[in-house]
Chains A and B, each alone.
Chain A
Amino acid sequence: MTVDLDSAVVAKGAVAPPAPLPVLTANDLQVYYGDFQAVRNVHLAIPRNEIVAMIGPSGCGKSTVLRCFNRMNELIDGCRVTGHVCYHGVDLYDPRVDAVEVRRRIGMVFQKPNPFPKSVYENVVFGPRIAGVARAEFDGIVESSLRKAALWDEVKDRLKASALGLSGGQQQRLCIARAIASNPDVLLMDEPCSALDPIATGRIEDLMHELKADYTIVIVTHNMQQAARVSDRTAFFTVEVSSDSDRRTGVLVEYDDTEKIFSNPSDSRTENYVTGRFG
């Protein structure tokens, strides 16, 4: 009973301030891996053409929540999601909704660059190809996607070379280009810069600012400065350890304008985390 009350309070505190039309909303989201509840009672609304950062200590369920937004969790055995995740008002977990269609509109960039072991060109056109885009358009899509990902100048002479020959930072930008090429509406990025040097990181941050005009972006990051630099809103998650059992569940503590989260958060746990007093 007390748990319920607690989470109700958390949920109230976590409701986003009035915002333009949300693209994605999570309502009363719970995620389980088998019997283990990884995330509890998440309420989030992600407005159009904004960048939302998700921060919090390791294991608090940021990736788990992010993967709920394009139903990637389904690929994990034993993962179960309850509650509602809505995309433009449509419940993504409605049985009539096709996960493949969802992922075409809501693209994802993973923590570790994972280009296909094929040519740069093939990497970019894979999405359009399976979506049935005409071949005649491929060249144009490749150039524009690579340009948007700030990679065109570096690879334009070796489009037919293997993507595995690119540096880690180039590979990550290629993965971004690949995600953009499918012309999604939302981009989910799970720690896209964790393997990158500061220069490549800076490039990707610039890129996110540019992409904001056309896309809505949700980014998970462990880098406070990055969250502060790129995002419009920030969601802070943490782990609650239940006192009777030893269960660790992720909860959303606070979700607000990034400026407020970093300067004047309403929850003391957020303040401790962003000021570095808590790991």
Chain B
Amino acid sequence: MAVARVLDAGMADRVKVSLTGARDGRGFLFRTLLQLALLLTVVILAALLVQVLTLGWETLATRLGDFLTAESRSRAHEAGVFQGLRGTLWIGVITTLVAFPLGVSAAVYLEEYAPRNRMTAFIELNIRNLAGVPSVVYGILAYTIFVTLLRPVTGGKTALSGALAVAVLVLPVVIITSAEAIRAVPDSLREAGFGVGATRWEVIRSHVLPYAAPGILTGTLLSLGRALGEAAPLILVGAVAGSVGYSGGLLDPGQLREQFTAMPIVIATWSTNARPGFDQITAAAIVVLLVVVLMANAAAIGLRNRFEKKR
């Protein structure tokens, strides 16, 4: 007993010494730096939001309905984002419908079927490189292919061409994120499936894809949200800077074969307009685009949660 107490006392001493003696100065500094980095990011974001909201607030508060349904006009207090919204909506829909199935299929093929050889590695490397190509370049490519070569299908400088341009732009990112999500599926899961006599397709459909779905969805929809804000490729395939001749409704698919504009184009055009009131409606349009992108992201998160519950 006595011995134990002595030992205990010794331990306690030592603990006390190490508690007071070793301040982790460098660790503290590092941690502070990390916090500063985070703080800076948050401050920048907040500043952007505050600026845009204060500038655009009057428009949004006094004539939101009008702003969302009116066309682009030369006088700021009459102008609205309707045509841009319509274009962006259809571009988003078609991009998703094209890039998602194509990208996921390519990723499944690369990860599950393709032989592991130099050819496959070479293709993968190139897809990675494509993801880093500036969006303007995709615009030129899209102009040649969709506006010129495929004119009979797309109708030339239409929302369909714009959507296909954006689809090509996001495709590499969709393939890469999907492939990564598929690669993260543990092999033991595949073995379990094969072990009870499943075919490769059954293993992919019942186990690999459900497991990878949250990752695929998040990656894909985030990249889509980002691409909806791209102006460069749309300008190159002929998005209209002013008012569009076509007068269909928001959900009218006729837009696909007609002249179009889109939110980033509207914003870019208005922001260079020096007339009074345009600063304010530019800010309001940015808020609208942000809300659209946020809604797409919210959909991504909602879908992901549903899949996560399922698996």
Contact = CB atoms under 8 A, between A and B. Distances in A.
Interface string B241-284: 00000000000000000000000000000000000000000000
Contacts of A100: 197-199
B189 A103 contact: no
B195 A108 contact: yes
A104 B195 contact: no
Interface in B164-196: 186, 188-196
B201 to A, nearest CB: 10
Contacts of A127: 196-197
Contacts of B192: 110, 114-116, 175, 178
A237 B147 CA distance: 68
Contacts of A75: 190-191, 194
B207 interface: yes
Contact of B196 (A77, A101, A104, A118): A104
A112 B196 contact: no
B311 A118 contact: yes
A24 B205 CA distance: 32
A182 interface: yes
Nearest to B186: A114
Q: Which label, helix, strand, loop or mixed, suits the secondary structure of the B interface? A: helix
A130 interface: yes
B211 interface: yes
B93 to A, nearest CB: 32
B211 A72 contact: no
A181 B192 CA distance: 13
Nearest to A103: B197
A102 B197 CA distance: 7
A117 B194 contact: no
Interface in A110-124: 110, 112, 114-118
B298 to A, nearest CB: 25
B116 interface: yes
Nearest to B200: A100
A93 interface: no
B191 A104 contact: no
Interface in A173-203: 175, 178-179, 181-182
Contacts of A181: 196
Given A117-B311, A126-B206, A107 B196 contact: yes
A72 B197 contact: no
Contacts of A131: 197
Contacts of B202: 130
Interface in B271-311: 311
Top-4 shortest CB links A-B? A104-B197, A127-B196, A114-B188, A108-B195
Given A72-B194, A103-B195, A107-B195, 11 more contacts: A72-B195, A75-B191, A107-B196, A108-B191, A116-B193, A117-B189, A130-B196, A178-B196, A179-B195, A179-B196, A181-B196
Interface of B: 115-116, 186, 188-199, 202, 206-207, 211, 311
